[in-house]
Amino acid sequence: MEKNFYEILGIPTNAKPNEVSAAYRKLVLKYHPDRIKDPKEKSAAEETLKEITEAYNTLSNWKLRSEYDKTLSQPKAAEKSPQEKAKEYFAQAMEHYKKGEMKAAESLFAFILKLTPQDSASQFYLGIAKLYSPLTRMEGAKLVEGALKADPYHPEWFITYAKILKKFKQEIRAKKVLEEGLKANPHDFSIPEFIKSGFSQVENGTSKDGGILGGIFGKKS
C-alpha cells in the first residue's frame, strides 16, 4: 500500500509545523545523494528525496495540508481513476495559479503529472509556476517548451509564455515563441492580436537557436 505524506515523513497526522520541519531536515540528511557513492543507491536516494520533498511541500503549507487532510478523511468508496483525480486536482491547481499562489500550484501540478504523466496542460503550467523562481527557472523553461512541442495547438499557452519572457526582458525569445505559435495555429487570431498590442513585429525566418527549444535562459540571443 502506498504511503501517505505523514508516513513518508514518519510523523503523526497532528504533527506541529516545527515537527514537520524537523522530520524533513532529518530525512534530507539521511537520503541526500551527495552522501552516497554507489550509483544505484544514489539513484534510489534521489527518488526517495523527491517523495520526501513533495510530502514536506504539502504538509508545511497549511492550506495544502488542509486540502490533503480532507482526502485522507474521505471514505474510500469507489476508487477514482487517475484521470478523474487529475481533473479534480487540476481545477484546484488552476485556482492557486490564478491567485498567484505559485508554490501551491506547483505542488499540485507536479502531483497531477505523477497520476497522468502525459498531461501536457499540467506540464505547461507546472513549468510556468517554476519560471517565477530563479532556482527552478531553467527546469521551468524545459517543461514549458516540452509541453508546447508535444501539444502546440493552444495559442493561449504561447501568449502566456511570451508575456513572461517579455517580463524577463527576453523579447527576442518571446517573438520566436510567438512565431512557433503562429506556425502551429495559422488560423488563430489571438496571437496576431497580441503581437499588435505587445510587439511591433515578429521576426521572419527560422531562428538560429532552433526555435523555442534553443533554451531561453541558457543561451542569449
List the one residue out of 135, 130, 193 whose CA is nearest residue 159: 193
Name the residue ranges covered by the structural domains of the chain. 5-73, 82-197
Confirm or reject CATH 1.10.287.110 for domain 5-73, answering yes or no: yes
Grid coordinates 504561447 are at which residue? Answer: 158
Written as one letter, the residue type at 189 is: F
> What would the CATH number be for the domain defined by 82-197?
1.25.40.10
Instruction: Determine the Cα–Cα distance for residues 75 and 12; give it in Å rounded to an integer.
Output: 19
Contacts of 15 (CB under 8 A, 6+ apart): 6, 9, 23, 59
| Cα–Cα distance measured from residue 199 to residue 16, given in angstroms and rounded to the nearest whole number | 50
Whole-model pTM over 0.75: no
- Predicted pLDDT at 76: 59
Mean pLDDT by 10 residues, the chain (221 residues): 87 94 94 84 88 94 91 71 91 94 93 93 96 92 96 96 92 93 94 80 36 39 37
* Alpha carbon distance 153, 7 (integer Å): 41
Q: For residue 128, which of 139, 119, 118, 114 has the smallest C-alpha distance?
A: 139
